[in-house]
Amino acid sequence: MKNQMVFQRYEFKYLISTRQLHTLLTAMAPHMVPDEYSHSSIRNLYLDTPDFRLIRRSLEKPVYKEKIRVRSYGRASADAPVFVELKKKYRSVVYKRRISMPQNRALGCVSGTQPWPDSQIGAELAYAADFYKALHPAVFLSYERDCFRGVKGEDFRVTFDSEIRYRQENLTLDSDTRGIPILAPGQVLMEVKAAGGIPLWMTHVLSEQGIFKTSFSKYGTVYQDIILTGQRGEQKYA
């Protein structure tokens, strides 16, 4: 799944407790297995304009929105391969396009000092960078992810994200994950990803546990926290 470059699917998010997590894992056992990359330490550099145009637009909940980020699975040195991703959402369907290249070249493409790769996805990223102007790494955001797929295939996937943290300095993927937590203690973000509908057994478990969909956005929550932190003049790194 890490090597897949094009995605089209529905994504549903749920904020759950660690107690609910254990119940879900038990219910999932007959139907799902850890995927090939069952655990990942994911690091992201979210790209935005100086006035945070992309995330402000996203928080307005338009019919169409997009995010651009540079992602690695674990610590990535300057010349290590990373993914540059263009994530679009239109009428609840998520479309993700991404391309792999060394981190130093990826950041060079973003800053305009190096050309984007000569490919369809490279052209889409080049267009987005030109359209938004002055794109730059705005936030480092990391989390620990456990990932599961359906026994009969990968069309149905469930991920659990914990230890979600962010910072606005030392914006490189070759660094530790020190930062500001955005979830309450004991909280986990579950994402259900499906090409079609959610299996009936999962809808039953969600209903029994009183787990409901949320519009939670990691980067959106970070942006709102940045505004509040700026108003308070506080730092709460952990």
Please identify every stretch of the chain with a pLDDT value under 70, giving residue numbers as ranges.
1-7, 231-238
Sequence letter at residue 140: F
Q: Give the pLDDT score at 5.
A: 65
Q: Residue 130: how many CA atoms within 13 Å on its side-chain side?
A: 8
pLDDT at 229: 75
Break the chain down into helix, strand, coil percent, rounded to 5.
25, 40, 30
Phi/psi-derived region of residue 20, left when phi > 0, alpha when psi is between -120 and 50, beta in every other case: alpha
Q: Which tens digits make up the pLDDT trace of 28-52?
A: 999 999 998 889 999 999 999 999 9
pLDDT at 90: 87
Q: What are the C-alpha distances in Å from 164 to residues 167, 176, 182, 213?
A: 11, 13, 6, 19
Question: Class assignment of domain 6-232?
Answer: alpha beta
- The span from the CA of 90 to the CA of 10, in Å, is 10
Beta bridge partners of 71: 44, 83
> What pLDDT sits at residue 233?
45
Q: Provide the residue count of the chain.
A: 238
φ, ψ at 74 (rounded to 5°): 95, 180
Q: Write down the domain spans for the chain.
A: 6-232
Percent share of the chain, pLDDT over 90: 78
Q: Global pTM?
A: 0.90
Please spell the DSSP secondary structure of 144-155, one letter per residue.
EEEEEEETTEEE
Please tell me the predicted confidence (pLDDT) of residue 36. 83
